[in-house]
Amino acid sequence: MESILDSKITYLKGVGPKKADLLKKELGIYIFNDLITYFPFRYADKSKIYKVGDIVTDNTYFQLVGTVSNLTKVGDKRARYVTATFSDDTGSTELIWFRGLQWVMNRFVPGKKYIIFGKPSVFKNKFNFAHPEIEDYEESDFNASGQRLEGIYSSTEKLKNVGLGSRGISKLQKELISQCIEALWETLPEYILENYNLISRKEALVNIHFPGETEIIDKAKERLKFEELLIIQLQLIKDKNSVSHKFKGQIFKTVGNNLNVFYNEYLPFELTNAQKRVIKEIRSDMRTGYQMNRLLQGDVGSGKTLVALLCVLISMDNGFQSCIMAPTEILATQHFNSIKKIIGDLDVNIELLTGSTKKKKREEIHSQLKDGTLDLLIGTHAVLEDVVVFKNLGFVVIDEQHRFGVAQRAKLWKKNSIPPHVLVMTATPIPRTLAMTVYGNLDISIIDELPPGRKPVTTTHVFESKRLRILGFMKDQIKQGRQIYVVYPLIRESEKVDLKNLMDGYHNMIHDFPMPDYQVSVVHGKMKAEDKDFEMQRFVEGKTDIMVSTTVIEVGVDIPNASVMIIENAERFGLSQLHQLRGRVGRGADQSYCLLISGYKLSNEGRKRLEIMVETTDGFKIAEADLKLRGPGDLQGTQQSGVLDLKIASLVHDTHLITLTRNLATKIIERDPSLDKTPNRLLRKQLDKIKEGKQNWGRIS
């Protein structure tokens, strides 16, 4: 059944073709429903008329009554803007327009009273109002309706020019609601409204646009946010559960010898509780008969690699081969060495395959993979090549997932007729609530605990001018046998400048360094891969004391003896990058240090980032702070997920509601998987509507 809310916006009284066109282009409003879900971002007290003398801040909206005089065009041949003086009995302030200049020049009658409404800005220490909303005072209905609180809508210059500033939009809302009031049906089942003490949809929609009193605004918002988040969660959970999204998978039911022996005799430490929990989650996935696709999140150093290794042993005990893929040769080599070491003389056949593996060795590996004598292949992209054929690949680990594309992952899937179980590991934590929405249709495991005995890295923010003290500190550390990273920022647009920055820094350091014999490795993006590896390797082997580099070392490198991380121009890095870099130290027994170096001139956000880094080493807290500073738009994974289209709920501020609706949605789907029960049909209707939504006829025009 079509609802009146599906009508094209042109059919609303007061919206002609021109306005309709702008509403579409500027705000994405195509149909009635789009408009009614275009909510105010704040409210102004409309009954209140301020005096010019009351304007003390540019933080809030003011409604003033007064006269307009001194209209002046400013500019040489062509006017660039128009100013005017707005006065009441307490003083005057400036009005300014940059567009529609001719119209403005003819708009005002001297001595006549006008109401203006807007938010002032400050220019040269004086307040002015740019493009204020204006009505003739005599004709204004500003208080006729008795409406005290007025919703403030964001608008654009183009819309303002056709009379659709905030107040214009509010008028459309009034018209819309009076036409559609009967069509504002309830969309949530009665039992949910009751249990969560929510107001009806009609009451919420009317009051979010035209609130009777302040208290009802919060109730209206809560109701609308609840609904929005609940529907998203239902959708995600349904997707996740639907068999059509799952592939047939290998069944690992044996608890075998390798795992037991390794666990009881080789493991040098107790697993953390988080590691145990995650392994349990993975094991139960591996028994379902469906392919596992699980994301493993865990802070740097939380022991993800060990989890991966235990899963490799499970796979082996069930007669399958495994593969671990890392984004760089260094990382692959590192995994290979550390796994070799920890596995000791246990009978596991492991090989390393990278771009630099010699031809003979390569062929040997290929044939061992084919005849099944190789249990675990560790490597780089090289493992994806078509010549790499497994006898029976059952389990795949992809380390640092964001370095690999979907196509590359798909290639690994195809290496067995029944696809292998896939574990994707990432050390870039995203906040839980965001994970629930962004990755809500993936299975997620989280290691939220570090192995015991780690000393938190001591982090300090140091100004550039303290260079000599920094060098002195470095000298002390080197004398104690430690190794040091010095990292310079790299921004793609200006690679040349950055490289110069790095090389200058390097030369200055060598020149000023208060110590005769020390060795430095330099690694940057412009070097050949083999030179990079060579330099890196010297540092890994402890032949050099300092590693000067750009962020190429960001991911995964594990050198326990390197205990100092110095980040130059630290204000230019994002929070998650700073956290990744700091995660390179603090891996050994020694106290580690992170020095964040910056100039004195810092933006607010830059300063905030450095403060957070000094304050905490908890990756999830840092991710939470990052989300608050930047909003979800920049976070990895959010772009594709559609969560950015939220109309009213906020991923940053509504974490409580996200958890609440997530739990409710889980329960609902558990009891009523296809939402067939009478009260839940209302919910299903909404999900169906979303499915067909993209082809909505109202949008094709």
Q: How far is the CB of 299 from ligand ADP (least distance, A)?
A: 7
Q: Does 536 bind ligand ADP (CB under 6 A)?
A: no
Among 425, 364, 373, 422, residue whose Cα is nearest residue 399: 425
Among 272, 346, 256, 263, residue whose Cα is nearest residue 304: 272
Query: What are phi and psi for residue 673, nearest 5 degrees?
Result: -55, -40
Stretch that binds ligand ADP, among 270-278, 280-288, 363-371, 493-501 (CB under 6 A): 270-278
Q: Strand, coil or helix: what is 438?
A: helix
**Residue 577, contacted partner among Mg ion, ligand ADP, none, CB below 5-8 A by kind:** none
Q: Are strands 376-379 and 520-523 parallel, antiparallel or unpaired?
A: unpaired
CB 403 within 8 A of CB 555: yes
- Nearer residue to ligand ADP within complex by CB, 263 or 697: 263
Name which position in 88, 133, 535, 558 contacts ligand ADP (CB under 6 A): 558
Query: What are phi and psi for residue 66, nearest 5 degrees?
Result: 180, -165
Q: Does 300 bind ligand ADP (CB under 6 A)?
A: yes
Q: Does 269 bind ligand ADP (CB under 6 A)?
A: yes
Q: How far is the CB of 463 from Mg ion (least distance, A)?
A: 33
Distance CA 91, CA 69 (A): 13
Could you tell me the two tokens for 551? 């962020």
Stretch that binds ligand ADP, among 42-50, 208-216, 294-302, 658-666 (CB under 6 A): 294-302
CB 278 within 8 A of CB 307: yes
- Nearer residue to ligand ADP within complex by CB, 209 or 304: 304
Stretch that binds ligand ADP, among 30-38, 133-141, 295-303, 348-356 (CB under 6 A): 295-303
Q: Are strands 293-298 and 443-447 parallel, antiparallel or unpaired?
A: parallel
Name which position in 271, 418, 503, 644 contacts ligand ADP (CB under 6 A): 271
Distance CA 521, CA 519 (A): 7
User: What residue type is assigned to position 252 of the chain?
Assistant: F
**What is residue 264's DSSP assignment?**
I
Stretch that binds ligand ADP, among 22-30, 264-272, 284-292, 570-578 (CB under 6 A): 264-272
- Total residues found in the chain within this entry: 701
**Residue 638, contacted partner among Mg ion, ligand ADP, none, CB below 5-8 A by kind:** none
Q: Does 272 bind ligand ADP (CB under 6 A)?
A: yes
**Residue 115, contacted partner among Mg ion, ligand ADP, none, CB below 5-8 A by kind:** none
Q: Does 429 bind ligand ADP (CB under 6 A)?
A: no
Q: Does 318 bind ligand ADP (CB under 6 A)?
A: no
**Residue 401, contacted partner among Mg ion, ligand ADP, none, CB below 5-8 A by kind:** none
Name which position in 82, 188, 427, 635 contacts ligand ADP (CB under 6 A): 427
Q: Are strands 91-97 and 126-130 parallel, antiparallel or unpaired?
A: parallel
Could you tell me the two tokens for 381? 């992209």
Neighbours of 210 (CB within 10 A): 19
- Cross-strand bridge partners of residue 10: none
Distance CA 353, CA 296 (A): 24
Q: Does 326 bind ligand ADP (CB under 6 A)?
A: no
Q: How far is the CB of 263 from ligand ADP (least distance, A)?
A: 12
Stretch that binds ligand ADP, among 298-306, 428-436, 538-546, 594-602 (CB under 6 A): 298-306
- Nearer residue to ligand ADP within complex by CB, 302 or 315: 302
Distances (CA, A) of 525 to 146, 488, 613: 66, 11, 26
Q: How far is the CB of 392 from ligand ADP (least distance, A)?
A: 26
Could you tell me the two tokens for 278? 């995650």
Stretch that binds ligand ADP, among 94-102, 112-120, 293-301, 606-614 (CB under 6 A): 293-301
Among 697, 671, 626, residue whose Cα is nearest residue 7: 697
Residue with CB nearest ligand ADP? Answer: 303
Distances (CA, A) of 183 to 205, 252, 388, 649, 653: 11, 54, 61, 23, 31
**Residue 598, contacted partner among ligand ADP, Mg ion, none, CB below 5-8 A by kind:** none
Contact positions with Mg ion (CB under 5 A) in 612-671: none
Contact positions with Mg ion (CB under 5 A) in 504-563: 556
Q: How many residues bind ligand ADP (CB under 6 A)?
A: 15
Could you tell me the two tokens for 497? 């400048």
Residue with CB nearest Mg ion? Answer: 556
Query: Which residues form the interface with ligand ADP (CB under 6 A)?
Result: 269, 271-272, 275, 298, 300-306, 427, 451, 558
Query: Which residues form the interface with Mg ion (CB under 5 A)?
Result: 556
